Amino acid sequence: MAQVYFSVRRGLPKAFVIYRHAALRQQIWQMYLIVAIILAVHLGPSLAKEFIVGGDKGWTVGVVDYQAWADGEEFHIGDKLVFNYPPGKHTVCKVDGVAFKSCTVPPANMTLTTGKDIVTLASTGKKWYICGVGQHCANGQKFSITVKPVLLATASPPMEGGAEGPSSSNGIMTHCYHVLTAAIVAMAMMVMA
């Protein structure tokens, strides 16, 4: 009898200690997750760059070698291209590789005309931009870029050369990044619930 009573008395504080440890561990986890989320939310956008196409010269014809400018930059998903020009003087058309070569201007509803056009790079791979006014494209107002995934920004050397190379591996890396972010958020929600 005395032994049972004894073990029950000793058992209670022990359970209490285990409970307190679990609560503490949960609190530490919560802190880690909050930090991870803050980093994911704040680091992502801050890494994205805004490129003023042609720099101070802007988007014009006969002044800037846009391809040389583009070749000197590295573009990643989330980055923005800003095309500055007097409205009416130029336009911005996103085209494919064939239209890029032949300077074929797409329909007007696929053309940007505001004079301060901002293009957010949303997918990996090769992108082509031309001006749709007159002979501007033929006179060099055009350039192509290769957009790289977010994660590979610092992890791997640039993948140059391939004109039409498939970007499935890049896509997978990006996909992994999104899944990871989603997993962190989901775990945080579970812990905080």
Positions in the binding site for Cu ion (CB under 5 A): 61, 90, 131, 133, 136, 141
Nearest approach, Cβ of residue 69 and Cu ion (Å): 15
User: Smaller CB distance to Cu ion: residue 112 or 159?
Assistant: 112
User: Smaller CB distance to Cu ion: residue 141 or 170?
Assistant: 141
Nearest approach, Cβ of residue 172 and Cu ion (Å): 37
User: Smaller CB distance to Cu ion: residue 127 or 136?
Assistant: 136
Nearest approach, Cβ of residue 38 and Cu ion (Å): 43
Q: DSSP per residue over the chain, as a string? A: -HHHHHHHHHHHHHHHHHHHHHHHHHHHHHHHHHHHHHHHHHHHHHH--EEETTGGG-S-SSS--HHHHHHTS-EETT-EEEEE--BTTB-EEEE-HHHHHHTPPPPGGGEE-SSEEEEE--S-EEEEEE--STTTTTTT-EEEEEEEPSTHHHHS----S-SS---HHHHHHHHHHHHHHHHHHHHHHHHH-
User: Smaller CB distance to Cu ion: residue 105 or 133?
Assistant: 133
Nearest approach, Cβ of residue 52 and Cu ion (Å): 16
